[in-house]
Amino acid sequence: MAETVILASKSPRRAELLQQIGLRFEVIAADIDETPAVNEGAQEYVRRMAVEKAMAVVALAPNRAVLAADTSVILDGEILGKPESRRHAEVMLSRLSGRSHQVMTAVALYAGGTLRQALAVTEVTFAVLSPAQIRAYLATGEADDKAGSYGIQGAAGYFVQHLSGSYSGVVGLPLYETAALLSEAGIGLA
């Protein structure tokens, strides 16, 4: 029987992705400060967040395999986190309109005393969005807890004109990279 891994996230999207690949898991959400450090680059930030989430849960369950991830939307080198308000979300989506940005998702797996990491970087290009389209999307409530104020798997999917990289990474967990880390650790999928 495959080992049960702890997912250090309460994200329903990450849970759905793990179910999709047949991983047996339970959830213990990590509670950490997600503030970027001064002058911290985007890659360093998402990697640090994934590791800190994993290690926070390892401290609670030291003999278990723990999987954590962090996703950030990057525009012009700036990390666009979760919106602080509806107005903030509107500003972010207006900035993304008609432009390309990166979505970075770092994955950290602690298993058998070893920490393994992976990073998926996806280039996403949005169509030009009208103010009415942005307001209509914001009215769905989907933007409220999403990095960059959008979820590609939801109503914002039609904003995406082009994507180069990992679709599941944009959703919140790059499955190819995650499966590779699990395989390296000797953790089989169900």
For 68-97, the pLDDT digits (tens) are: 999 999 999 999 989 999 999 999 999 999
> Based on the structure, what is the number of domains in the chain?
1
Q: Is residue 19 part of a domain?
A: yes
Report, as an integer, the average pLDDT of 37-53.
96
70, 76, 144, 145: the active-site residue: 70
Q: Is residue 190 part of a domain?
A: no
* Long-range CB contacts (within 8 A, 24+) of 13-18: 13/151, 13/153, 13/171, 13/172, 13/173, 14/69, 14/172, 14/173, 17/168, 17/171, 17/172, 17/173, 17/175, 17/178, 18/67, 18/173, 18/178
Active site residue 144: no
The CATH number given to whatever domain includes residue 56 is: 3.90.950.10
For 95-143, the pLDDT digits (tens) are: 999 999 999 999 999 999 999 999 999 999 999 999 999 999 999 999 9
Query: Is 17's pLDDT higher than 60?
Result: yes
For 133-169, the pLDDT digits (tens) are: 999 999 999 999 899 999 999 999 999 999 999 999 9
Q: Which residue range forms the structural domain that includes residue 80?
A: 5-184
